[in-house]
Amino acid sequence: MTNFSDVRIFFCTTPTRMNYSFDHLMGQAEAIFNQDPLSGHLFLFLNRSRDRVKILFWDRDGFCIFYKRLEAGTFQLPEFESDQQGIELTYSQLTNLLGGLDLKSGRRRRRYRRVR
């Protein structure tokens, strides 16, 4: 079982094509973050329009990709220096980003809501 207190979260600040799969994302993790993809850390990649995210991670015996496509709205980019290709996020930044919260104000961003 993964010890989540040891998991680091790396976010690629440059847009990534969503047709990239395991091998290319592993290469990105090594090149951008200088990290071993087998470390068990999370590596996040957004597309140019910021409505899709892929998260690559190693799960003891194989790679997994979590892929989320928003039906409305976009993911908000965290603050970073313009020359940075990748940054490290905290767990709360990750949950806010995936949950649709504004990373500065904490308010809910526009997202799809199913009408019943």
The H or E element spanning position 24 is helix 22-33
What residue has token string 């970073």? 80
Give the structural domain span for 77: 4-99
Nearest Cα residue to 35 out of 14, 67, 11: 11
In a domain, 104, yes or no: no
Give me the mean pLDDT over the 56-84 stretch. 88
What residue has token string 């799809």? 112
- Interval 6-16: pLDDT, tens: 789 999 999 99
pTM, entire model: 0.84
In a domain, 27, yes or no: yes
Q: What is the pLDDT of residue 53?
A: 95
Is the predicted pLDDT of residue 112 greater than 70, yes or no? no
Give me the mean pLDDT over the 87-113 stretch. 78
In a domain, 110, yes or no: no
Please say whether the beta carbons of 57 and 84 come within 8 A.
no
Tell me how many domains the chain contains: 1
Is the predicted pLDDT of residue 28 greater than 50, yes or no? yes
**For 49, what's the count of Cα atoms within 13 Å in the CB-facing half-sphere?**
8
Report percent pLDDT > 90 for the chain.
Answer: 56
In a domain, 108, yes or no: no
